[in-house]
Amino acid sequence: MIGVTEETIGQVPSMVVVDANRQQEPLPVLVYFHGFTSAKEHNLPLAYLMAEKGYRVILPDSKYHGEREGEISTVSRQISFWDIVLQNVEELETVKTSLDEAGLIKDERFGVAGTSMGGITTTAALARYPWIKAAAVLMGSPKITTYAKTLVESFQKMADLPVSDEMINQLYEQLKQYDLSKNPEKLMERPLLFWHGKSDAVVPFDHSYTFYESIRKSYMNEEDIQFIKEKNTGHKVSREAVLKTVDWFSRKL
């Protein structure tokens, strides 16, 4: 039987999905980050399928989302997008450390994945942490500095941003160290799956695809880097994407 429990892991409200009879065993771990305006429980179907295959899946709530939403306005949350992403990256290390200390990670098999904002978080985490063994990015961008500029331009067209040009430029500089497209060597040929709908109007399809095309030749094992694209699919994860992601981790993590 698969158990779903709500736990606070290193001050991060999370759901833990794992075989109820193996809760205290060391198991391979997958942390899956949700998208913008979503919440941890929205990824329970994928987590359940992974748990059936013997994995421990951690579904954290991001800052200003789910249990952590609070009274923040829509505009304030939009402006905080990159703050949320970078806090996700910091909290990922906290989650891993907590699981390590509890002896719950088997053979250092620790993977990360996410949807949209969660996929962006995943690429940033890959640029930061060499201990991630495998990853999957669903509708995310590994070109986060470029994407940040796109978002800023979009917000500026809608209204005056309550931030200075200096603050915006500081953000771009900060993001560069987390930008996998600017630090491709940090990928270190780790297994990485991309899934993206070709008609995505929120996160540009070409961000992930052009990065994949540029990096795949550096992999000695071509099977460790894959890109799955779906025609006529927008910014919504399909059932095929979920199943392909589960299969990916069952083989690579």
Residue type, 186: K
pLDDT for residue 154: 74
Q: Which residues pair with 138 in a beta bridge?
A: 115, 195
Please report where in the chains the tokens 């910014």 appear, as a residue. 235
Average pLDDT of 166-191? 94
Mind giving me the DSSP string for 1-22?
A: -EEEEEEEETTEEEEEEEEGGG
Rounded to whole angstroms, the Cα distance separating 125 from 106 reads 20
Rounded to whole angstroms, the Cα distance separating 60 from 92 reads 9
Please list the alpha-helical segments (H only) found in the chain: 44-52, 74-79, 81-101, 117-128, 144-158, 165-176, 205-215, 239-252
157 pLDDT above the threshold of 70: no
Residue type, 83: D
**Choice between 100 and 152, residue whose per-residue pLDDT is larger:** 100
Domain with residues 2-252, CATH architecture: 3-Layer(aba) Sandwich (3.40)
Q: How confident is the model at residue 153 (pLDDT cuts 50, 70, 90)?
A: confident
Which residues fall within 8 angstroms of residue 71, CB to CB, at 6 or more apart?
A: none
Q: How confident is the model at residue 210 (pLDDT cuts 50, 70, 90)?
A: very high
Please report where in the chains the tokens 């309550």 appear, as a residue. 162
pTM of the model: 0.95
Tell me the C-alpha to C-alpha distance, in Å, between residue 100 and each of 55, 79, 121, 166, 177.
15, 34, 21, 40, 26
Q: Worst-scoring range by mean pLDDT, 42-51, 73-82, 152-161, 218-227?
A: 152-161
Q: 140: helix, coil or strand?
A: coil
Contact 6, 90 (CB under 8 A): no
Query: Which among 176, 123, 129, 128 is positioned nearest to 148, based on CA atoms?
Result: 176
Ranges of each domain in the chain: 2-252
Q: Which residues pair with 110 in a beta bridge?
A: 29
Rounded to whole angstroms, the Cα distance separating 133 from 28 reads 10
Cα–chain center distance at 56? 16
Enter the DSSP assignment of 25: S
122 pLDDT above the threshold of 70: yes
Rounded to whole angstroms, the Cα distance separating 195 from 114 reads 11
Q: How confident is the model at residue 156 (pLDDT cuts 50, 70, 90)?
A: low
Contact 68, 13 (CB under 8 A): yes
pLDDT for residue 98: 97
Beta strands 12-19 and 2-9 are antiparallel
Enter the DSSP assignment of 161: -
In residues, how long is the chain? 253
